[in-house]
Amino acid sequence: MHTPPFDIAAVRRDFPILQLPIERPVAFLDSASSSQKPEAVIAAQAAYYRTTNANVHRGVYQLSEQATYEFERARGRVALFIHAHSAREIVFTRNTTEAINLVAHSWGGTNLSAGDVILLSQMEHHSNIVPWQLLAQRTGAILRAIPIDSSGRLILDDLDTLLKGVKLVAVTHQSNVLGTINPVHYLASKAHAVGALILVDGAQSVPHMPTDVQALGIDFLAFSGHKMLAPTGVGVLWGRKALLDAMPPFMGGGSMIKTVTIEVSTYADVPARFEAGTPMIGEAIALGHAIDYLNGIGMAKIAAYEETLGHYLLDQLAEVAGVTVYGPPIGPERAAMASFTVDCAHPHDVAQVLDSEGVAVRAGHHCTQPLHAALDIPSTARASCYLYNTTHDIDRLVDGLRKVKTLFA
């Protein structure tokens, strides 16, 4: 393993939970589910409640103005982080799921009708499937999915045929099970060539690699703060300004209006139009600090480090007899995660034995039942890495798997 491009020991010291002896310090390999939080982010959220707490966009008093300033500054940091043209293109949501539902309701409800096709992929998370199913039930639109090959890559040979009648392509940038990194730029150009838009589920990609929505050429991007060092309860929808401007509200209430009478309302400009009610102020501010933390290390360095960890992870898993890993080989098309089965034990038993060794992995279908159906397996165990993981965590995983083999063989 190469020398890490940043001081990994210092990074680990920034994360209080990694210092806790639960029985021994945890080897946390479940960041694809939700990441750990550094002290700087925890402190930023606490500082908001200690020093700045007030509702935003309402009060004329100092505390409220300070809270509004911090909240809007966080929006600006998000915009810069993904190379949005303006902070007005950033809508704060609860999470990726809500961001996708927002587009499905608002854009989809206005622009799709019976027979229009929404093109997904076989590897989507349920949150990039179910909102489109609900939309299809309301509008008569049709869902279609790009299939995957045995190595867990999208099969794009028949893309032109699959794109017939498509109004929206909705795909994940990075699979939360296979680790596959999809060719989003290519998919965007193909979608646009047939007059369709493209929404990208960035829940797994934005935390782990540099993201440039202009270079990707996409129309909407959804992601979650909690997978990128920020608290739960804050997520992001980015959309091209002209598209957001033309979209009707998703939810109604305070903060999203210009005028209200008992009969009718006019709506605020974006992004306020999509942020009804009091938002997640402290969480959004903390997301801004999480972005500062990631930028302080550098997303390119994080991606490079994770690639070497991914190599190590796959190499070590290949050494354990009876372990089958799903997804493509490590490289530019593969993230540092591995979903796997062990021939002698159910994934839940695997995860339980690993837990007894202080190794945290997730087991189940990972909200991807159609993908598991395509792989013809009910569930997998998944180890996923982030910037604070080391080869030692992976060694502990592999030692734990050897114990599984001894216990269940």
Contact set with ligand PLP (CB under 6 A): 95-97, 125, 127-128, 172, 176, 201, 203-204, 224
DSSP per residue, 334-366 = B-SEEEEEETTB-HHHHHHHHHHTTEE-EEE-T
Nearest-approach distance from CB 337 to ligand PLP, in angstroms: 10
Minimal distance, residue 104 CB to ligand PLP, in Å = 13
* Shortest distance (Å) from residue 230 CB to ligand PLP: 11
Q: Which is nearer to ligand PLP, 97 or 380 (CB)?
A: 97
If the CB atoms of residues 68 and 182 are measured against ligand PLP, the closer one turns out to be: 182
Q: Would you call 367 a catalytic residue per the annotation?
A: yes
Task: Tokens for 278, please give them.
Answer: 């009091």
Assigned token pair, 263: 């009969």
Which residue, 107 or 404, is less far from ligand PLP as judged by CB? 107
Find tokens 């591995």 and name the residue. Answer: 338
On whether the CB atoms of residues 344 and 408 are closer than 8 A, the answer is yes
By C-beta, is 96 or 122 nearer to ligand PLP?
96
Minimum gap (Å) between residue 318 Cβ and ligand PLP: 25
Q: CA gyration radius for the chain? A: 22
Q: Which is nearer to ligand PLP, 235 or 282 (CB)?
A: 235
| Cα–Cα dist 265/316, whole Å | 60
Which pair of structure tokens corresponds to residue 356?
């007894």
Alpha carbon 28 to chain centroid, angstroms = 18
Residue 78 backbone dihedrals phi, psi, to 5 degrees: -60, -45
Residue closest to 67 by CA, chosen among 288, 270, 219: 288
Looking at the Cβ atoms of 199 and 394, the one nearer to ligand PLP is 199
Instruction: Write down the least CB distance from residue 366 to ligand PLP, Å.
Output: 7
Tell me the CA distances in angstroms from 250 to 113, 225, 253, 262, one per residue in order: 18, 21, 10, 19
Tokens at 116, concatenated: 């229009």
Q: Considering the complex, what minimum distance in angstroms separates the CB of residue 242 from ligand PLP?
A: 25
CB atoms within 10 A of CB 260: 12
Please answer whether residues 177 and 146 qualify as being in contact, where contact means their C-beta atoms are separated by less than 8 angstroms. Answer: no
Shortest Cβ 305–ligand PLP spacing (Å): 20
What lies within 8 Å, CB to CB, of 204 at 6+ separation is 32, 172, 173, 174, 175, 176, 227, 335
To the nearest 10°, the Cα dihedral for 238, 243, 244, 246? -170
- Other CB atoms within 10 A of residue 214 CB: 11
d(CA 28, CA 19): 11
329 CB neighbour count, 10 Å cutoff:
12
Can you tell me whether residue 64 is helix, strand or coil? helix
Query: Which residue out of 42, 54, 134, 367 is catalytically annotated?
Result: 367
Nearer to ligand PLP by Cβ, of 45 and 97: the residue is 97
What amino acid positions are annotated as catalytic residues? 367
